[in-house]
Structure 1
Amino acid sequence: MAVERLPTTYGLAESDPEQVLIDRRGVAPEDLAQIERIMAEMGRMRQVERKIMRSSQRYMQLNETDMRALRQLIAAKNAGRVTTPSDLRAYLGISSASVTKMIDRLEANGHVRRSQHPTDRRSQCIEVTEQTHLAAREQMGRHHAKRFDVANSLTPEEREVVIRFLAQTTDALEWSLEKSSPQES
C-alpha cells in the first residue's frame, strides 16, 4: 500500500522523531494519519495565503503594514467609522512617526487621502481612495469570497466543529506564545 503524500512537508515523524514535543504513544495510526492531514492542510492554507498576500502586495506596490492599514481603512469605511492616524497607530502597533511616514507614502501614491476630522478640528481623518478600495476588493476580496463559499457549503454542525477547532487552536497558540515569550517588566 502506497503512503499518501501530504500536501506540505509537515510530518510528525520527521519533525519530532523522538516525541520530545508531542507524545504520540497511544494514538492509533489512523488517528495520527488524520491529525497529520489536518496539520498539513493548515500549512498548505498558510502557504496559499502568503502567495495571495505577496501577489496583492506586488500588484498594489505595498508592504505588509501598508496592506494591513488599508484593510483597516476599508473596514472602517464600510462600517461608516472615521479613522485617525492615532487609530492606525494603535491598530498597527507602530510609532506615531512610522504612521506619519506610512500615510505620507500612501497619500503620495494615491492610496489614501487626508481630510479634516468631522468633530475634532485638531485631528485629521484618513480614508482609502475609491481606486485603491476597488483594487483591494479585486485582489483580496475575491479570495475572501472563496472562503465564504466553502464555509457556506458546510452544514451548521460542521461549521460549529470548524469554529471550535480554529478557536481552540488559536487559544493554544496564543498560550504557547505567552509562555515562550520573555516576561516584560
Structure 2
Amino acid sequence: MESSRAAGVHDPITENIYTGSQTGFPDDLIDCSELSAPDRKQIAEVMNALARLREAERALSEASRRFMKLSEQDMRALHYLIAAKRQNAVVTPKMLSVHMNMSAASVTKLINRLEREGHVIRKLHPSDRRAYALDVTAKTARSARETVGRTQARRIHAAADLTTGERDAVIRFLDGMTEELSLSNADWTKQL
C-alpha cells in the first residue's frame, strides 16, 4: 500500500503527529513543565521531522522491496550481505542467523529462497573448507545500488550542508535518542 506522502496526499495528522500538549506526548507520560512554550514547540518540530524521516525511509524501503520483488526479511538479509561485501567480510549462514535473529532452519529456508531467485550464491568458505560463505549476486548488488542505494546516498547532502559543530550536535542527539529508545531502558520488555 502506497503511503499518503508517496501518493502526494497531504496528511496534516501524520505530518504533525507530535504537535499538541507539551512535546506531543500525553502529560502523564513525560513531564515537560520546566520547558518553555517555545522549547516545547521546537521539540515537537524535531519529533515531527524525525517522524517524516522515518516515513520517507519506510516509503523508500517499501518501494525498493516492490521493485526488487522481495520481502522485508529478504531485504534485511541482502542489506547485510551487501554491507559485508563492501567491507570484504565473509558471511556464513550462522552469522546471518545471528544478524537476523532467526533459527538455523529458518535462515536455511531464507538462503534457499534467495538462492533460487538468483539473489545469493553459496561458495566455499575461504578459510574453513567444512563451511560455506554467502555472497550477494552481482545483478542483485547492482539493482540494490541503483534503486535504494543511490537514493540513500543523497542523504550525504543534508549532512554536508551542516557545519562541523552542527554535525556534532546531530550525532550527539541521534546517539542520545538511540540510548533513550534502547530496549534495555524499557521495563516492560523484561516481560517478553
Query: Structure 2-normalised TM-score?
Result: 0.86
Could you report, residue by residue, the CA deviation over 1:103-123 in whole angstroms, capped at 9, with x for unpaired residues? Answer: 110011110111111221111
SS of the equivalent of 1:181 reads helix
Q: Which runs of 5+ in 1 are unaligned?
A: none
**1:138 CA drift (Å):** 1.3
**In the alignment, structure 1 residue 63 sits paired with structure 2 residue 71:** yes
Match of 2:121 in 1: 113
Paired AA for residue 63 in structure 1: S
**Equivalent pairs, count:** 179
Paired AA for residue 186 in structure 2: E
Could you report, residue by residue, the CA deviation over 1:1-31 in whole angstroms, capped at 9, with x for unpaired residues? Answer: xxxx7833322429545x1012222321111
Bigger mean CA deviation after superposition, 6-15 or 31-40: 6-15
**In the alignment, structure 1 residue 85 sits paired with structure 2 residue 93:** yes
Q: Distance in 2 between matches of 1:51 and 1:118?
A: 38
**In the alignment, structure 1 residue 133 sits paired with structure 2 residue 129:** no
Q: Distance in 2 between matches of 1:26 and 1:119?
A: 59
Q: Distance in 1 between matches of 2:115 and 2:40?
A: 51
Could you report, residue by residue, the CA deviation over 1:70-102 in whole angstroms, capped at 9, with x for unpaired residues? Answer: 111111111111111111001111000111000
Match of 2:167 in 1: 159
Match of 1:10 in 2: 18
Query: Structure 1-normalised TM-score?
Result: 0.89
Instruction: Check conservation: 2:124, 2:132, Cα contact below 8 A.
Output: yes
Q: Distance in 2 between matches of 1:32 and 1:123?
A: 55
Q: Distance in 2 between matches of 1:79 and 1:175?
A: 28
Q: Distance in 1 between matches of 2:185 and 2:106?
A: 26
Q: 1:183 to 1:141 in 2, by over 3 A?
A: same
Please provide the CA RMSD for this pair.
Answer: 1.9
Paired AA for residue 82 in structure 2: I
SS of the equivalent of 2:57 reads helix
Alignment partner of 1:35 out of 26, 40, 43: 43
Could you report, residue by residue, the CA deviation over 1:109-142 in whole angstroms, capped at 9, with x for unpaired residues? Answer: 1101111112211111110000000111112212
